[in-house]
Structure 1
Amino acid sequence: MKYLIIGAGGTGGCIGGYLADRGKDVTLVARGEHLKAIKENGLVVHSTRRDNIHLKNVKAFSSAEVVDKFDVIFVCVKGYSLHDTIPTIIKASHEKTLVIPILNTLRAGEKLEKALPGITVLDGCIYISAYISAPGEITQGIKIFRVVFGPRENSKVDRALLQKIQEDLIESGIDGVLSDDISRDIFKKFTFTSACASTGAYFDIMAGKMQKEGKYRETFVSLLQELQKIANGLCIQLDCDLIEESLNILAGLALDTTASMQKDMKAGTKSEKEELIFDVVDIAEKYGIDVPNYYKIAKYFGYDRT
């Protein structure tokens, strides 16, 4: 299996790094100083699950330099950059290529499927805390590293290929999960990411403040309750107590953890507020669901669909 990882940041760098370190055929797509450092010195992953990884000869290119065809393409970019990956996916795909978006959004698979007729698009999500700590270096924050993926509704995919991807992930030290209901699993992951990032950004706080009883934690829980209402409205059958599971994940974060959306907003760069906050309000309005806390936060960050 030939893997292409589009986006070699915290998510893609860890997926690609772990796979390549176990001898899988991996090519990374990166940019800027990060790409330059990887080409010159290799990729370093400071891992919390195993010994640190230093791949001295990993294959890394800019999107313009990609010329090969790949069996599996992991798309690991921010939501606002999803459209920019389409030309690379098209030229890197053959008739049996599987594309797996790993983004903090509910609609990545849907958007790619519409833009890539004739290419099989799956859906996926990830549980990880990782970031670019220096050009050519990725640092993991917690031991959780789980990639969940599966076919979109009504799509036909060779199950043997899906199982091969799962096996490669597991052999590489990643908890690879082949989902029997990927829409459910993406929504479940999205709820934590959205509620945590929204609360953190609105109050400008780190995870440690949300872990304690008080208004920050109460806001986090209220957003989860609104997302539960949306799940009910969309007839998504969750297989867990959404609030309990999200609080358990929150409890496992380092005290100084902040979501990437929050970091981007403080830096004044593009952020995923459209995908993580505004889309929730749009979906709620479409289905007549009351989400006052999400609406308040969305308005604070400039939400306006008029």
Structure 2
Amino acid sequence: MENMKITVAGVGAIGGLLAAMLGRKYEDRITLIARGEHAKALREKGLTMESEFYGDSFMKPAAVAEKGEEIPVQDLVLICCKNYSLDQLSEQIRPCIGPDTIVMPVMNGVEPGDRVREKFPEAICIDALIYTITAKASDHSVKQSGPYTHMFIGSKLKDERHTEAAKKVHELFKSVGFDARYSDDIMSEIWQKFILNCGFNVITARYLTNTGGVRRNSEWAKDFHELMKEAEAVGRMEGVNIPEGTAEKKYEYCMENQKDDATSSLKRDVEAGRQAELDAFLGAVIRKAGKYGIEVPYSEKYHRELSGMIDAYMA
């Protein structure tokens, strides 16, 4: 990890959180990729994080670049963007990725790892997922809320090169006090979160509600459960090692333990009239279900209805 050149591409909520944590020890090695006013603010003011779990911190990156061609080839590139921005961001950072660069997307859904491997076949592309409640503020700072934030790191590809890279990045995050967890079966962890997202994110976005609202409406609660069961069934057909009863356990946890005011990024994006990651959730379920000949009526219904809402709110 000594002298490792690190780039965080996409400095929104997740990218800002990870950059701020790494910056506690390695700020002189970190480049942030951002554009326009965001880039200007990061250059002038640095990056501030308020965190209930980790405590507040401030970091001044070694550089803020708008394109990969402005910096040398990097040792580690974290891609932290919405799924719909991945194609554009990948071209933006391509010049700073070489054959020995470790590339790790920290994004929603089950497809980013494979998409990144297709875009950078010469690089070492590993996998990750994060559990956190973090938002980017209007002043470009980030705010983490709640009593947890942890990340799973691993590699879908099991050769020594990728496995060792995943372990190296895991140790990097551990070295700054971040709750990083190495997984030998990262796709199982990714799918377990995906199953939850396909239910909770979708149902809260469709009805612009929170956990309390779902609890009080038996029809919404039933649909929430069914959406997760469909995603779990598709994951099993993919050959993913999903623990028995995953959808059931996540449903029970949300309905019994989650705070009433808990909501989702998908709900916030739909409500604000922004682009939303519906395709990363239900679009992926429907595509994969079609490949295996599985019927997913709840996913199709909610995909259709939410697509109409997103179009209307963005108009």
* TM-score strictly above 0.5: yes
CA–CA distance in 2 between the matches of 1:240 and 1:144? Answer: 25
Kept in 1: contact 2:32–2:61 (CA 8 A): no
Q: What is residue 269 of structure 1 aligned with on the other side? A: 274
1:282 maps to which residue? Answer: 287
Could you tell me whether the CA contact under 8 Å between 1:29 and 1:63 is conserved in 2? yes
Matching residue of 1:6 = 9
Mapped partners of 1:157, 1:250: distance in 2: 42
Contact 2:68 2:96 (8 Å CA) reproduced: no
Number of aligned residue pairs: give it: 303
Q: CA shift at 1:45, angstroms?
A: 0.6
Q: Give 1:230 deviation, angstroms.
A: 1.2
2:153–2:186 contact (8 Å) kept in structure 1: yes
Question: Does structure 1 conserve the Cα–Cα contact (< 8 Å) formed by 2:23 and 2:61?
Answer: no
Query: In the alignment, is the contact (CA less than 8 A) between 1:35 and 1:136 conserved in 2?
Result: no
Matched, 1:90 2:104: no
Q: How does 1:86-235 map to 2 (within 5 A)?
A: 86-157=90-161, 159-211=163-215, 214-235=218-239
| TM-superposed deviation, 1:213 | 6.9
Cα distance per residue 1:12-61 (max 9 Å; x no partner): 11011001113353222123333222211111111011221122456332
Does the Cα contact within 8 Å between 1:112 and 1:121 map onto a contact in 2?
yes
Q: Which moved more, 1:171-180 or 1:209-218?
A: 209-218
Unaligned runs of 5+ in 2: 309-315
Cα distance in 1 for residues equivalent to 2:129 and 2:251: 15
8 A Cα contact 2:98 2:122, kept in partner: no
Q: Given that residues 107 and 129 in structure 2 are in contact (C-alpha distance below 8 angstroms), is that contact kept between their aligned partners in structure 1?
A: yes
Residue 54, structure 1, aligned to residue 58, structure 2: yes
Match of residue 16 from structure 1:
19
| Alpha-carbon displacement from aligned partner over 1:235-267 (angstroms, at most 9, x marks no partner) | 222136313145436766554333222222222
Residue 129 of structure 1: SS of its match in structure 2?
strand
Alpha-carbon spacing, 1:273–1:52, altered in 2? closer, same or farther (3 Å):
same
Deviation of 1:105 after TM superposition, in Å, equals 1.8
Aligned CA distance change for structure 1 residues 120 and 291 (closer, same or farther; 3 Å) = same
Distance (Å, rounded) in 2 between the aligned partners of 1:59 and 1:199? 40
Higher helix share: 2
Stretches of 4+ aligned residues off by more than 4 angstroms = 249-254
Q: Secondary structure at the match of 1:236?
A: coil
Deviates further, 136-145 or 159-168: 159-168
CA distance in 1, matches of 2:62, 2:24: 9
Residue 294 of structure 1 deviates from its aligned partner by 0.9
1:18–1:249 CA distance, 2 compared to 1 (3 A): farther
Counterpart of 1:299 in structure 2: which amino acid? Answer: R
User: Which residue number corresponds to residue 312 of structure 2?
Assistant: none
Q: Compute the TM-score of the two structures, normalised by the length of structure 2.
A: 0.87
Distance 1:164 1:266 in 2: 39
What TM-score, normalized to structure 1? Answer: 0.90
Q: Is the 8 A contact 1:123 1:182 kept in 2?
A: yes
